Structure 1
Amino acid sequence: MDQSSTATLSHRHECMQDITKLLVDAGYSRAGDMAAGEEFDKVVGGLSWLITATLTTPLDISLPTLLEATSISTRIALSEVLHYTLLKMDLPVEISPHQIQGVDAPVLLPVVRWAVKNFMEKRVASGDSILGGGGGVEFTKYYDKGFGGLFDGEEIARNVEEMQERYKVRGRKYRFKGSQGSETEEQKVHRCLLEYGEKMRSYRGLRGGEGGGEEGGSNSDRGFKGRKKVSAFDKQLADAQKVAEEEEKALEEARERMAAQLMKNSEELNDEDVAGRGGVGGLVTLGRGEIGVANEEYEKLREKMLKERKDRDEKKELFNSRKLALEREIAEGQRLLDKNGGEVSKAEKARAEMQRMRTEVQDEKANNAKISEELQNLSEIEASSGQKDLLKSLWALVQENEKVKKDEKHFKEECKKKMDALTAALQNMGDDHGGQSEEEKAKMQEIENMHAKISSKHDKVRQLLAQRNLQVASTTRKIDDVPTRMELIQYERRFVELYQQVALKLEETRRYYATYNTLDSTRNFLSKEVKLIDSITNNFENAMKTKGSQDEFLQQFEAILKGVQDSLSKQDGALKKKQEEVSKKETEYTSVIEDQRKYFKLVKDFQEECNKNEALGAKIGEI
């Protein structure tokens, strides 16, 4: 193997490693688990995974099809599907289906890079849309006016009142009197629920929930009635259900009596008690000091709320007064506007012009501020950078570039001025041409002739250059038409595979034809045998009646046997001939195998001699 082939294989191996690393980094971990011989499955599977994750429509390549892609036709079909899909995605790299099928790693590497880049961009865009779309949807469930009205004073107050009303603490409705130390835990819970207008509910027994036991019981009763025979377990279950229902009913009655007894020792609270004492009275489990602190905090909160309400009322009154004053000013201005329409229109124009100038000034100030801020940022970056020398040289180059631009602009202006002056001088010379002397006319004619010669020479040189460019383009096209070594190797490989496929198909077709011919011959022989047996069976009784018919029957039978023996001898001869041909082919095959072995041995010896020659050449070069 020469050095160029070794370098090509090494480059292909490096590109294949880069492709595997790109696929694994992108998330296709299966590429790292595949063996070295599964390069086609690795590349096609990775590209299919990337394209499927990027496109909205799935790719028509399934995993079983990819795993069973052992034949050439299946690989070609998969390669064509991938090639068509990549072209639809505007692939910037030129690629052919045979390069995908042949796993041309140097060509496939930029394709995989482009597919991974599209996949990462799609992933980032999808993540941003998912993260950015959740909050707005949840917010618009309750507020459909957007953010504009949320910062209005009245709107804020209304929203706060709505939230307080929605999430306010439910107040107590009753207060119980009497001692509470002898109550059980269940009685304390029941009393606490009654204070806030709730009742305890029972969920015991086999009812499965409130109101569900009676329905379940009736259904079970109907089930028992519908049966002719009831098992012992069903009877026990029905008895247990009845006992549970009775216990539950008794428990509910006891709790009703407990609730009635507790309600006798209770008193209903009014709004003042709820507002004043209810908030602090609910803290009965706290100590006396904590109750005092809570009461002080409540008073402070109440004073703060009253003060805020008072400030809000004052602001509202101030707003209404300013609104009335502005309405009066607007009415006065409208009256003056109707009185002095022309002057007002001029004033409006002047005001609009002044407003426009102010806007331009503000824009210029904003641009100046933005430029100053960018300069400040650049200065900070320059101060904090570790490459100050490089930045200084870059800044000097930028200044030099600006200076060159200014010089170029100045030079163009000077050239334009000189051209105008020369044009005017030429025009004056044309006007004064009638007054020139013969000597000046001859000199001018000589200059024009020289200019014509130089122009014709320049045109000839341009024509020669154009012809040379055409020749170069034609030669380049011819060079491009000649396939490279890698392309020739791929073509040879494809033709060999195609030849093998055609040879296999031809051999299979020949086997089918041979099988068909054999079966057809067998069918013919069997048909003849059936006809012969039927003829013997039909004519046997008639042939056995007389001596002459028996002799004739035996003669016919002997003729039939002779014909069968002749046919058998002919088939044996054909079989022997085929066996001789097979033996001859085996001998030829053995001879060819021996020649191939000798050829491989000679090639190996030649390679060893070439290696020795290269080593001797290297030693001679060193000497």
Structure 2
Amino acid sequence: MSQTSIDTITHSKKCLDDITSLLVSAGYPKAGDMGHSGEEFDKVVGGLAWVITSTLSTPLPISLSTLLQASSISTRISLSEILHTTLLQMEMPFEISPHQIQGVDAPALLPVVQWAVKNFLERRRLTGDAILNGGGGVEFKKLYGGTGGLYDEEETGRQVEDMQERFRVKGRKYRFKGQDDLSVSGTEEQRVHKCLLEYGEKMRSYRGLKGGDGGGNDGGGGGVGGIKQGKVGKLSAFDRQLADAQKVAEEEEKALDESRERMAAQLMQDCEELGAGAEVAGRGGVGGLVTLGKGEIGDANEEYEKMRAQMLKERQDRDEKKEMYLARKKALERDIAEGGGALEVKSGEREQGEKARAEMARMRGDVQQESAMNSKIVEEMQKLSQKEEESGQKEAMKELWELVQRNERVKREEKAFKEDCKKKMDALRAALENFGANSNESEEERTRTAEIEGIHSKILAKHEKVRQLLAQRNLQVASTSRKIDDVPTRTELIQYERRFVELYQQVALKLEETRRYYATYNTLDTTRNFLAKEVKLIDSITNNFEGAMRNKASQEEFLQQFESIIKGVQDSLSKQEAVMKRKQDEVAEKDAEYTLVIEDQRKYFKLVKDFQEECNRNEALTLKVEEIGGGE
């Protein structure tokens, strides 16, 4: 990978981090949540859609399922085109194409996100966080009751009294007959159970095998009870053992709960109420579980109906406000229509009309946003309330809420701690600079410092010179090492000698074989020449024989020619016999020389053997002499 590619990837990653930081700071925490889908498209494009939707008075034509299921290419392309069209309608000053949005081109998206977040923050500043305040009000009403809209003093006082009633410390509700305090008799579990019963509480099991408070019987818990019985046949051996252990634990827990209920009923027979002013358990308490029955379930149902009626009343109030707004809008439009001619004449009135129109548009957008947001919030709150009632995890949700608040508090403390550390660091740096500026060294100390610096400079120069000499010496050593490596060792020379001997033997064998081939060829060629001469002579005799036998003179001439031919053949035979004898003499001479060489070789081997024996004897005597010298 080239350096340019690495720089491009680093720049893109930095731009992506800046985009996620902007979205998180604007109020979209999912952009910085690594557990949320883990894809850049979901975080960046989802955050951009959220910012645009929060900025515009009308929502985008994008459903929640489209944002959550944007996994296919076609869905991403359509979503990118919608965002691109919306940005163009918002008169975005930057140029960007849909494929850059779909491909999450971070360098191109960064200025767009900055511009969108800036508009969103400006919009929030103008609206005064009306949407966020409305959502907080709905959440407050869900937890603590009360009507919507502005709170008057009477309503505020009622809510304060209600919260004090909900969270005030409970007193004793019952007292055991014949004693002023807890009985010291019985087991520790019985004494604890008595104490809880006096304050309207009871002991419960917290093994959490079935998921609800005390381990309810539903299968929606978060423990191992979530294993469905219909899939037992497909489970592994360990899962089946775990399911069996769960059943046994559930039976034990059920038996323990039944025994504690019997103990509570038996102990309650010896209790008496402390009076009409005794407390009852609040919504968050669990003391009322001792006497839970159809009556309290009916009370809870009535409370739910009251809350439902209250929410309907709030919706009617919002509808009335909407009608008032529409009436005001019509009145303003009528006033603007009636004063159209005067607006063209008077510039002041025209400006006032423009302001009225802007105010009307803002109020219309605010009302639409508030109504849409309120509807969404009410719907989500109803769903959450229903899920909360069905799950039976009120205590867990309460604990989760406390943990979230604790996390936010820790974040604020961390931020304050970092700011404090930064201030302290700045103060220390300033003190250090002041100390360096105000330090007054004596003349002797400055002289000593100058001498030390001079000595240090000389040592550095000497070190640099020694380092250069060392580098030169290393170069010389490397050059000498290469020259030494070029000189063959004794082992290499022996190997070279063996290879040359083998090559010489191979060449000698090849030369001898070639000589035999040449000798054979010359012999066969000479034989062929003699045979050709013989055939030619026989043909000549055969052709001239009849003509030579016709008269006496031709016969004599023919015989003379025949004798000369015989003489020539005998001369040739004598020459060849002389050559053969010479060759035989040469072979005999070579055999004699070979015999002498073999004898010299035998003597050489014998002398080498004797020399080796003498060398071994010399080494043995040398060792003995060294041993004798060492003993002395």
Note whether the superposition's TM-score is higher than 0.5: no
Normalization by structure 2: what TM-score? Answer: 0.31
TM superposition score normalised by structure 1: 0.32
